[in-house]
Amino acid sequence: MKSMSQRAAGQALVLEHLATPEPGQGQVRVRVEACAVCRTDLHVVDGELPGLCYPITPGHEVIGTVEKVGVGVDPDMAGMRVGAAWLAKACGACRYCLAGRENLCDFAEFTGYTRDGGFASHLIADARYLFPVPTTRTAQAMAPWMCAGVIGWRALRVAGKAEALGIYGFGSAGQVLAKVCAWQRRRVYAFTRVGDIAAQQRARALGAAWAGDSLSKPPEPLDAAIIFAPVGELVPLALKTVRKGGDVICGGIHMSDIPAFPYRLLWEERRLVSVANLTRADANEFLEVAIAADVHCDVHIYPLELANEALDDVRQGRINVTAVLVP
């Protein structure tokens, strides 16, 4: 098998040719068709997440086909087209798992972070944490569903019935969420980096009612705002835009420090909350929504061997669609 592996924090990924792994008890081997590149992958390669062990193969937005099943797995899974997401496994026994909050599991494992991910030709996965996906769509177009879509959906659920919704950071998650919100008849207000006219134009093309930079004031108070950009300075800016009783939801796994801000921005029952990881229920719900809403993701395809180039393009904002690696 081929794998783009990282040997130490901050180092470039290297192409390795390894023995194709065998699935263990309860596992399957997936032949990767496509793996989208997420900003979280940058946090992995930059060593910004706790507990990283090397070598590691990043990638957690995977679409592929089950090539071989291990002991204890339904043989009918062989040949099934599946998606693999960030949550690779939960213990099922801790207080969080027992409460239906496996996203907070004390002993969770994560694809492309604590176990090897999809920047490879093959992936070993726990069969219980894979999701059937349509055979009628391309793997490249569906790959962003497995993180940008699912995490965006979890954040949107926290936003409740918000009709006027702000989205800070209009990358993959923001673009998928804009399409879902248009289908749900919500009004989306897109906030981009200062001067990023292309991203603002793209937001409008995807149905946003308004688009401007993060320093701009939207034309109406927002019911909620979701922050996907890993920039702590956006938190007080977002709090300024939401109405009384409104929510600001931080949707990323990593964010720079949030600066001090006056209490009046939080007062009047505004809430500042975070979204962490995902549950399998989130993924199953979103997949139903994505199909019903006919969510299509625009992508820029890179061969697996150009993973470093794809990561750098995402880091520098050189593309305004989702980068996807294809083995």
Burial group, residue 268, by CB count within 10 angstroms (0-12, 13-18, 19+): exposed
For residue 275, the model assigns a pLDDT of 96
Q: How far, in Å, CA of 273 to CA of 252, rounded?
A: 11
Q: Please check whether residue 206 is in contact with residue 175, taking contact to mean a CB–CB distance below 8 angstroms.
A: yes
Q: Which amino acid is at 294?
A: D
pLDDT in tens for each of the 327 residues of the chain?
999 999 999 899 999 999 999 999 999 999 999 999 999 999 999 999 999 999 999 999 999 999 999 999 999 999 999 999 999 999 999 999 999 999 999 999 999 999 999 999 999 999 999 999 999 999 999 999 999 999 999 999 999 999 999 999 988 899 999 999 999 999 999 999 888 888 899 899 989 999 999 999 999 999 999 999 999 999 999 999 999 999 999 998 899 999 999 999 999 999 999 999 999 999 999 999 999 999 989 999 999 999 999 999 999 989 889 999 999
For residue 302, the model assigns a pLDDT of 98
Q: Which amino acid is at 117?
A: G
Q: Which CATH architecture has domain 2-146+297-326?
A: Alpha-Beta Complex (3.90)
Omega before residue 55 within 30° of 0, cis:
yes
Q: Which amino acid is at 141?
A: A
Q: How far, in Å, CA of 176 to CA of 153, rounded?
A: 9
Q: Please check whether residue 79 is in contact with residue 56, taking contact to mean a CB–CB distance below 8 angstroms.
A: no
Radius of gyration of the chain (CA): 19
For residue 320, the model assigns a pLDDT of 85
Spell out the residues 6+ positions from residue 257 whose beta carbon is closer than 8 angstroms to its own.
Answer: 232
For residue 14, the model assigns a pLDDT of 98
Q: Which CATH architecture has domain 149-274?
A: 3-Layer(aba) Sandwich (3.40)
Q: How far, in Å, CA of 224 to CA of 188, rounded?
A: 10
Q: Of 68, 55, 72, give the one whose Cα is nearest residue 9.
A: 55
**Distance set, CA 40 to CA 45, 134, 314 (Å):** 9, 25, 11
Helix (H) or strand (E) holding 176: helix 172-183
Q: Where are the domains of the chain?
A: 2-146+297-326, 149-274
Q: How far, in Å, CA of 289 to CA of 176, rounded?
A: 11
Q: Please check whether residue 139 is in contact with residue 63, taking contact to mean a CB–CB distance below 8 angstroms.
A: yes
For residue 174, the model assigns a pLDDT of 92
3-class DSSP assignment, residue 264: helix
Other CB atoms within 10 Å distance of the CB of residue 261: 15
Name beta bridge partners: 248.
Answer: 225, 272
For residue 195, the model assigns a pLDDT of 86
Other CB atoms within 10 Å distance of the CB of residue 16: 14
Q: How far, in Å, CA of 212 to CA of 130, rounded?
A: 38
Spell out the residues 6+ positions from residue 86 whose beta carbon is closer than 8 angstroms to its own.
Answer: 40, 60, 110, 111, 112, 113, 146, 147, 150, 151, 277, 278
